[in-house]
Chain A
Amino acid sequence: MRRRDLASLLFVGLPAPAQTVAQAPPDDLAAARQRVQAASAELAKFEIAIAIEPSTVFRAY
């Protein structure tokens, strides 16, 4: 997907982001997206047997 296409998907309802996507070299952006996808895939693989936790609210205590 071209960078501009992604930007338009991301900002539905916002003013047209003419120059939305950073001037990152395409490789950087592609690499960053790959990292996001890899994280997403790794999380998907991680099985939590059943949703027994009451919430995801975070407390350190």
Chain B
Amino acid sequence: MKTTFPEEFFFLPIIEIQAKLRAKEFKVKELTEAWAQRLEQYGPKYNALAHSLRKPAVKAAKYHDKDFKRERFRSPLHGIPYGAKDLLSYANHPTEWGAPPYKGQKFKEHAKVITKLEGVGANCIGKLAMVELAGGGGYRFPNASSTGPGLNPWDVTRWAGGSSSGSGAAVAAGLVAFALGSETWGSILTPAAYCGVTGLRPTYGLVSRTGAMALSWTMDKIGPLCRTAEDCGLVLQVIAGSDSDDPGSAGKSFYYTPEYVRPFSEMRIGWNPADLEAVTDPAARQAFQDATQLLLELGFQVKEVELPDLPYRTVASTIIGCEMASIFEPLVADGRIQQLVDKNQAAGIVAAIGYKATDYLKAMRVRRLIQDAMAKLFIGVDVLISPSRPGVATKIDEPLDRGTGSSESSKRGLKDLGAAGNLAGLPALSLPCGFAQNLPLGISVVSRPFQENLLLAIGKQYQAQTDWHKRRPPLPA
């Protein structure tokens, strides 16, 4: 008899789905077909699906069922259906980077992260939509993608965030059990916050980028968007590791062991009230205040901190601009850049070619000072907390340069933590932390390089005391 999966099933954390698989409540093939069907049915309603991979996934599921029959369990991800941002190659299937000039593009090999997940039995059921070219040129409207604007499952008149739009929306709507996204500057944390899911930006170099579209070699990171912090840990454990094909690889592995983190009472958490005062929506401000209070009460010693006065945004935009211009120069040279959906993005790439070599080198030198400043800041604290985004998801027809939900404040606080953290290659975890205007909000915890277990331990503890991550958006009509 065919298994019917209730709606709430699609929102279970990985460990619970895995337990049901091992208890033989259903087969991997049934699970895969149900989830692929759901992704195909609802994915287009959020412009979240770039390409379905139902056929190869169902084929793989039959082999996984043989494993389960013999009780050969490969990992907690064995048989679990997931989605990958269309920036990651999936062998012999379209990998179009959300951009019309790359329509029909195929590679012969999987991205390393997909190969690793395949190795432990995770099953990729679809490529998820993204902002074209990961938005490096600077886009003005959320519709800067060949699949249209990423729509937010909580309210389809709102944006899902970018550039990992499909990854955020698909996890939020229960269309995949987890998803892979990428972040150069905000592309995991933003959709995680806007869609109400848990997103982990790993330390630069911890996860291989081989097989991923390069936007900015010294800034790009690949990471998971999941239901829970624990799920992020399970996925990161698989995708992390040394890769000789990625010159940015740190040559390190990751083992998800949050239980071995030092007691919170021995650590200091850094925050700044100016970050909350700057939030303009009173409901959002209250939600951030409550979340901050709860995080501060986990047992940490508390310290008020602020970022040193350094040109974080200018340095980040210069480095991304220069590396992106070098990567996409052929697209400009052969005129295909005209095919991009967002003309601002095209203009941004063309203009970035005008950067001087000395601009890039100066930016890299200042970046070194920023790294040193962040290292110094982390002598006094173990983690920093700050809103992932200062407000709820923007409307899909609203220009993204209109404002973000925060007021211009003379106090620096930690408002540039996004740019600073990405420049210094620091890990960050965005946790769902409440709602305003019926839309989710996210708060970020950031730590030193390779302290992912600490972030995940905090996330796990926070999610044990809250249920924001368990909330589900309504199904689309």
Contacts and interface: CB of A to CB of B under 8 A. Distances in A.
B343 A22 contact: yes
A45 B371 CA distance: 19
B250 A61 contact: yes
Interface residues of A, number: 37
11 contacts: A10-B354, A22-B347, A28-B343, A39-B318, A39-B321, A40-B318, A46-B362, A48-B366, A58-B364, A58-B367, A60-B426
Interface string A32-61: 110111011011101010010100101111
Interface string B334-368: 11011010011011111111111001011111111
Given A17-B333, A46-B311, A23 B356 contact: no
B351 A36 contact: yes
B447 interface: no
Contact of A53 (B203, B347, B368): B368
Interface in A7-29: 7, 10-11, 14-15, 17-25, 28-29
A20 B332 contact: yes
Contacts of A23: 338, 343, 346
A35 B311 contact: no
A39 B319 CA distance: 10
Q: How large is the interface on B (under 10, 10 to 19, 20 to 34, 35 or more residues)?
A: 35 or more
Q: Which 6 A-B pairs have the closest CB atoms?
A: A60-B425, A22-B346, A32-B351, A24-B347, A56-B364, A60-B204
Nearest to B349: A22
Contacts of A33: 351, 354
B352 A24 contact: no
Contacts of B204: 58, 60
B87 interface: no
Nearest to A28: B347
Scoring B205, B218, B350, B354 by chain A CB atoms within 10 A of each residue's CB, the highest score goes to B350
Contacts of B302: none
A53 to B, nearest CB: 5
Contacts of B311: 42-43, 46
A53 B315 CA distance: 17
A24 B350 CA distance: 10
A28 to B, nearest CB: 4
B461 to A, nearest CB: 26
B335 A60 contact: no
A43 B205 contact: no
B138 interface: yes
A44 to B, nearest CB: 7
A40 B355 contact: yes
A51 B350 CA distance: 31
B283 interface: no
A10 B347 CA distance: 14
Contact of B337 (A22, A43, A61): A22
Given A29-B351, A60-B424, A20 B335 contact: yes
A14 B333 CA distance: 8
